[in-house]
Amino acid sequence: MKLRTLKTGLLLLMGLLLIVAAQPLLAATTPLAGTNWVLSTLNGQLPLAGTTITMNFGEDGTVSGADGCNRYTTTFTASRSTIEFAPAASTMMACPPAVATQASDFMAALDAANRYQLRSGQLILLDGSTVLATFVAAKGDLAGTTWVVTGYNNGREAVVSPLLGADIIINIDDANLVSGNAGCNDFFATVQASENGSIVIDNIGATRRLCSTPVGVMEQEAEFFAALESAATFTIDGDFIELRNADDAIALHMIRELEVDFPEPAPAVPTGRVTAPNGVNIRSGPGTNFPILGVAPFNATGEIIGRSADGRWWVVAVPSAPGGNGWVSADFVAASNAADAPIIASPPPPVVIIPTPLPTPTPLPQPTPTPSAQISFTADRTTINQGECTTIRWSVENVQAVWVYPQGQPFQQFPRVGQGSEQVCPPVTTTFEMRVQLRDSSVQFRQVTINVTPAAPQNPLNGTNWEVTGYNNGRDAIVSPLVGSRLTTRFSADRASGNSGCNDFSGSYWVSGSNISIGALGGGMMACSEPDGVMEQETQFRAALQSAVTFQLDGNRLTLRRGDGSTAVVFSRLQ
C-alpha cells in the first residue's frame, strides 16, 4: 500500500514539473526584462538613413519604443527561446511614405516573431528559422559619444536639414560640456540637464573662421546656435535625441554617429589605419557632400579595396554598409600595400539635378483685374529604383515668382520660370518642394516625394558548389574527410544542400554581409558502414555547418567560422 502511494505521488510530481516547464516565463525572469535595444537590420535591410527604431523591455512585461515614425507600446510573453508580442498601440503621426512603410514592416515583424536569440550582444527575432530583425544593445552612458544633427529650427517656424557638405556634429564630452562643429566653425557650450527632462545650454563659444562654401553655411551656423541655446527640454530614445524650446517646438534633433567595426583584413591585402585622434567619417561616396555611414575610431585598421580617380579617397570594405563598402578621406589614413589599389568610379552624388539655370525668378505679367493663381507640381514617376531618374514638372500662372528645390536646400539657389521640368536622380527617397510667391507677397508650398527602392543586397554564395577539405569535429580539432568519402555543399539563393559522406542533406540559410546562419538540416536516413566512422563524420560535419555565424570568401576558398572566431568548415570551390 505504501509503495502504491509513493508511485502515485511521484507521478503527480512529474506531471506538475512538466506543466511548469511548459509555461512561459514571467517577464521579470526572462533575459529580456529591463533591456533596451536599437534596430540594426529589418528583413535583411539597414534602417533608412535618419531613422532610429528602438525596443525597450520593461520588468512588468511591457514593450515600448519608436518605430521610426511613431511611438508604440505593447506587451510580451517569453520562454528561454520563444516570444510572442500582443497587438501594439501607437501614435498617429504622418511620415514620408518610405518611413511609414518601414514602420509598418517593423510592426509586421513583431506580429510574426515567435522565437528569439541573444548572441554576442545582439537580439535576433525570428519566425521559425527566418530572421525578421536584429538589434544591438542601446548604450546608456552618453559621455564620449558623437551625434549628427538631422534637423534644426531655423527661427522661421521650420525645421530644416543641414546643408550638403556642412554636417553639424555634436560631441557629448561629459555631463556638463558639449563641443563640435556647426558646418564651418568649431564650438563648445556648457549644459545643465535634470532627470525630469529640463535642460539649459549656454556660454556658447566658437572659432571665428569665415566660410564661403557651401552657400549659406554662415547663416546655418547662426540659426543652429540660436536653436541650441533655445532648448528647454530633451528626450532620449535609443540613438535619437530631441531638444524642444519653451514653446514645445522642436529646437533640434540628432542621431548617434555609428562606430564601424572593420572585419579583420586577410594577410598581405592592402590596408589602411585611421590616424585622426577623433576618428574619421566613413561616407557613401568620395566627398563631404555624401551622407555619413559611420565613424572609424582612431587606430582602426580595415581592408582597402580601391581608390578615387584623384587619389584623395580610399574605398574600404564595410560589410554592414549598402554595397559592402565606404569611402574615407586619404588625409586621415595611413595606407599599406595600396599602391596598386584599383580606381573605383564614384557613385552618384546625393541629389543630381539637371536644371535650366536662370539668374533670377521671372515675374509674370499682372493683368487687370488680377486673376487667381494657378499652381501645379507633379512627377512623372514617384517611385523609382535606385540609380533611375524621373522628371518633375511645374506650372504656375498669375504669381510673382517660383522656386523648385530639394527640401531642406536654400530655395534662393533654385529660381525657375513659370512652366518647366527637370530630370532628378535621387539615390535615396527625397522630397522636392516648390515655393510660390503670390501677387500679394504671401507664399504657398507644394511637395512631391520621390520614393527610391534600394538595390537588393547581393549574396556571393548563391549558385556556388564546394567540396569540404576540413571541418571542426566538435573537439576543437579541424579534421579532413575520411578516405573514401566526399563531403560537398551547394548554395542556392536561400538553401544549402549536398552530401555528408553517406546521406544527402538540405536546409535553409541566410546571408547578411559577412554573417551566415544555417538552419536545421534534413536528409536521407541510410546507415552506411564504410568507410569506418562515416556516420560519426556525418553527425560532426552537419553540426559544424550549423555552428557557423560568419563566412570569408577568398577566391576558390570558403571558410565558415563559429561565434568565437574559430574555424567551423573549410571548402574548396568545385568548378
Q: What is the pLDDT of residue 70?
A: 87
Q: Are 92 and 85 in contact (CB under 8 A)?
A: no
Q: Which fold has domain 464-573?
A: Lipocalin (2.40.128)
In SS3 terms, 201-233 reads as EEEEEECCCCCCCCCCHHHHHHHHHHHHHCEEE
Mean pLDDT comparison of 56-60, 512-516, 537-541, highest-scoring range? 537-541
d(C-alpha 414, C-alpha 404), whole Å: 6
Lowest mean pLDDT among 4-13, 333-342, 524-533: 4-13
Q: Is the pLDDT of residue 6 over 50?
A: no
Q: Which fold has domain 271-336?
A: SH3 type barrels. (2.30.30)
- What cell does 357 get? 539655370
Q: Quick one: which H or E segment has residue 38? A: strand 36-42
Q: What is the pLDDT of residue 288?
A: 78
Q: What is the pLDDT of residue 369?
A: 63
In SS3 terms, 437-503 reads as EECCCCEEEEEEEEEEECCCCCCCCCCEEEEEEEEECCCCCEECCCCCCCEEEEECCCEEEEEECCC
Q: Are strands 130-137 and 36-42 parallel, antiparallel or unpaired?
A: antiparallel
Q: What is the pLDDT of residue 328?
A: 92
Could you tell me which residues come within 8 angstroms of residue 183 by beta carbon, excluding any fewer than 6 positions away? Answer: 162, 163, 166, 167, 168, 211, 217, 220, 221, 224
CA-based nearest residue to 126, from 85, 88, 72, 82: 82
Q: What is the pLDDT of residue 242?
A: 86
Other C-beta atoms lying within 10 Å of the C-beta of residue 175 = 11
Q: Quick one: which H or E segment has residue 255? A: strand 250-256
Q: Is the pLDDT of residue 114 over 80?
A: yes
Q: Which residue has the cell 539563393?
A: 493
Q: Are 457 and 44 in contact (CB under 8 A)?
A: yes
Q: Which tens digit of pLDDT belongs to each residue from 253-295?
A: 887 777 777 888 988 899 999 887 667 888 888 987 777 777 8
Domain coordinates in residue numbering, the chain: 27-137, 145-256, 271-336, 353-453, 464-573
CA-based nearest residue to 396, from 357, 339, 434: 434
Q: Is the pLDDT of residue 121 over 80?
A: no
One-letter amino acid of 65? G
Q: Which fold has domain 27-137?
A: Lipocalin (2.40.128)
d(C-alpha 385, C-alpha 392), whole Å: 16
Q: Which tens digit of pLDDT belongs to each residue from 61-78?
A: 899 988 988 889 999 999
Mean per-residue pLDDT, 530-545: 92
* Percent of all residues in the chain with a pLDDT value above 70, rounded to a whole number: 88
Mean per-residue pLDDT, 554-566: 91
Q: Are 66 and 72 in contact (CB under 8 A)?
A: yes
Tell how far CA 174 is from the center of its chain. 27
Q: Quick one: which H or E segment has residue 406? A: strand 399-406
Q: What angle do CA 38, 125, 550 make, to 5 degrees?
A: 85
Sign of the CA dihedral 362, 363, 364, 365?
negative
Q: What is the pLDDT of residue 358?
A: 47
Q: Which residue has the cell 556571393?
A: 460
Model confidence pTM above 0.85: no
Sign of the CA dihedral 42, 424, 439, 408?
positive
Lowest mean pLDDT among 286-295, 358-367, 486-495, 529-538: 358-367
The two counts, helices (H) then strands (E), for the chain are 4, 44
d(C-alpha 261, C-alpha 136), whole Å: 13
Could you tell me which residues come within 8 angstroms of residue 81 by beta carbon, excluding any fewer than 6 positions away? Answer: 115, 116, 117
Q: Which fold has domain 353-453?
A: Immunoglobulin-like (2.60.40)
d(C-alpha 147, C-alpha 524), whole Å: 54
Q: What is the DSSP string of 278-345?
A: T-EEEESSSSTTSPEEEEEPTT-EEEEEEE-TTSSEEEEE-TTSGGGEEEEEGGGEEEES-TTPPB-P
- The confidence band for 440, taking pLDDT boundaries of 50, 70 and 90, is confident
d(C-alpha 81, C-alpha 101), whole Å: 29
- What percent helix, strand, coil does the chain show, rounded to 5? 15, 45, 40
- The confidence band for 80, taking pLDDT boundaries of 50, 70 and 90, is confident
Average pLDDT, the chain: 85
pLDDT: which is higher, 363 or 389: 389
d(C-alpha 307, C-alpha 322), whole Å: 18
Q: Is the pLDDT of residue 395 over 90?
A: yes
One-letter amino acid of 104? S
* Percent of all residues in the chain with a pLDDT value above 90, rounded to a whole number: 40
pLDDT: which is higher, 84 or 321: 84
Contacts by residues 105-109 (CB-CB < 8 Å, ≥ 24 positions apart): 105/42, 105/43, 106/39, 106/42, 106/53, 106/67, 106/68, 106/133, 107/67, 107/72, 109/42, 109/43, 109/133
Query: Within 13 Å of residue 362, how many CA atoms lie on the same side as its CB?
Result: 11
Tell how far CA 339 is from the center of its chain. 32
Q: Quick one: which H or E segment has residue 115? A: strand 115-119
Q: Which tens digit of pLDDT belongs to each residue from 157-198?
A: 788 888 877 888 888 866 678 888 898 998 888 888 887 788
Could you tell me which residues come within 8 angstroms of residue 233 by beta carbon, excluding any fewer than 6 positions away? Answer: 197, 198, 199, 243, 244, 248
Q: What is the pLDDT of residue 365?
A: 64
d(C-alpha 416, C-alpha 421), whole Å: 10
Phi, psi (rounded to 5 degrees) for 321: -90, 155
Other C-beta atoms lying within 10 Å of the C-beta of residue 250 = 16
- The confidence band for 325, taking pLDDT boundaries of 50, 70 and 90, is confident
Beta bridge partner(s), residue 509: 518
Mean per-residue pLDDT, 398-423: 89
Q: Which tens digit of pLDDT belongs to each residue from 198-218?
A: 899 988 988 888 998 888 999
Mean per-residue pLDDT, 222-232: 94
> What CATH architecture is 145-256?
Beta Barrel (2.40)
27-137 against 464-573: fold identical: yes
